[in-house]
Amino acid sequence: MEPLKHEALSFLKTALDDPAATFRDGQWEAIARLIDRRERLLVVQPRYQIAPDSAGVD
């Protein structure tokens, strides 16, 4: 594994507090394009619906 990818994966595992964390398909390639080639990328994040808090509801 190349040093930069290894370091990025280490940051990911630390940030998620998950030693088994890995990049999803295409994530590392997008990061490498930003760092190595300084390319512009469009980043799209999924929208999550937050469930109402059920605390105190009987």
What are the pLDDT digits (tens) for 4-55?
A: 899 999 999 999 999 999 999 988 988 888 887 777 767 777 777 666 665 5
Q: What are the residues whose beta carbons fall under 8 Å from the beta carbon of 8, sequence distance 6 or more?
A: 23, 28, 31
How far is Cα 7 from Cα 41, in angstroms, rounded to an integer? Answer: 21
Q: Is the model's pLDDT at 56 over the cut of 60?
A: no
* pLDDT for residue 26: 87
- Could you tell me the end-to-end alpha-carbon distance of the chain, in angstroms, rounded to an integer? 52
* pLDDT for residue 13: 95
* pLDDT for residue 54: 58
The structure tokens listed for 22 are 């890995």
